[in-house]
Amino acid sequence: MSETVVITGASDGIGAAAARALTAAGKRVVLVGRSREKTAAIARELHVDHFLADFSRLDQVHRLARELLEHYPQIDVLANNAGGIFGGREITVDGHELTFQVNHLAPFLLTTLLMDRLVHSQARVINTSSVANTTYGRLEVDDLETLEGYSPNRAYGNSKLANILFTQELARRFGDTGLTTAAFHPGIVRTNFASGSTSPMRMLYRSALSGLLLSPEKGADTLVWLATTQPGVDWVSGEYYVRRKLGRVNVQADDPELARQLWERSAQLVTA
């Protein structure tokens, strides 16, 4: 029986490219997207299952987890890849800053809702972070939702630093169950990224320079590598990778107490 690989953000960009590569490698890929049309189109192309959830609504993350638990007795890989950079400070229906919720709280919730199944499956959890964790991340544990000093870049950098802290804490809490995890930066990749943002970053992706960016296939390479090689042999659980090598992280990622606090507060926020 081939391994089951659930990929969020699989309707486009890096996630769709990873879904194509992992299907070609013989995995049973399960797509999760937000757009009904885009997700169904990739599912038709690859002949795989698909599910929908908008991560700006935590009720939809709960529904997604229920559906995945119902359909898949074994989940070998969970790739938390959905995400993006947005515009002015916006609050979701759940009362959270949008970037923090879509990029961190929703995948945190999805992973914890699936935890028993992931542990039972000795799964690997792969989190798509970004180099923005170092360039823009400056996380205040008492202001996780960036009430002070909000900018799209800062909120994005913080959420991508949160992905790395989550990866570390997941490895610390569940490492002895056999579950493994890694975060990675895909490179600067020519996708829809930043298209709905007011961040100056969007210019790069829409300018003539976009031709110089990595293709989505190249951007998916480290995700595919993490999903198909041996944790503990080819890569170390709890770490952050760039181009298949250990990457440099924000100095705040050297603080296990911050990772612990982020986990505790995230758990409170998704149950509040």
Ligand X SMILES: NC(=O)c1ccc[n+]([C@@H]2O[C@H](COP(=O)([O-])OP(=O)(O)OC[C@H]3O[C@@H](n4cnc5c(N)ncnc54)[C@H](OP(=O)(O)O)[C@@H]3O)[C@@H](O)[C@H]2O)c1
User: How are strands ordered across the β-sheet holding 124-128?
Assistant: 49-52, 28-33, 4-8, 77-80, 124-128, 180-185, 240-242, 245-246
Among 6, 51, 54, 174, interactor with ligand X by CB under 6 A: 54
DSSP annotation of 75 reads -
Q: Are strands 4-8 and 49-52 parallel, antiparallel or unpaired?
A: unpaired
Please state the closest distance from residue 186 (CB atom) to ligand X, in A: 5
Among 51, 55, 225, 263, interactor with ligand X by CB under 6 A: 55
Q: Which of residues 100-129 bind ligand X (CB under 6 A)?
A: 102, 128
Among 4, 19, 50, 83, interactor with ligand X by CB under 6 A: 83
Tell me: does residue 130 bind ligand X (CB under 6 A).
yes
Stretch that binds ligand X, among 47-55, 116-124, 140-148, 235-243 (CB under 6 A): 47-55
What one-letter code names the amino acid at 116?
D
Closer residue to ligand X in complex, CB, 116/188: 188
Q: Sign of the CA dihedral 7, 12, 14, 17?
A: positive
Nearest by Cα to 223 from 118, 115, 130: 130
Please state the closest distance from residue 55 (CB atom) to ligand X, in A: 3
Tell me: does residue 84 bind ligand X (CB under 6 A).
yes
Considering the candidates 72, 136, 150, 156, report the single residue annotated as catalytic.
156
d(CA 48, CA 137): 36
Q: Which of residues 202-261 bind ligand X (CB under 6 A)?
A: none
Tell me: does residue 167 bind ligand X (CB under 6 A).
no
Closer residue to ligand X in complex, CB, 54/221: 54
Nearest by Cα to 32 from 93, 91, 83: 83
Active-site residue flag, 240: no
d(CA 61, CA 86): 20
Please state the closest distance from residue 120 (CB atom) to ligand X, in A: 26
Among 121, 191, 222, 266, interactor with ligand X by CB under 6 A: 191
Active site residues: 156
**Which parts of this chain interact with ligand X (CB under 6 A)?**
9, 11-15, 33-35, 38-39, 53-56, 81-84, 102, 128, 130, 185-186, 188-189, 191-193
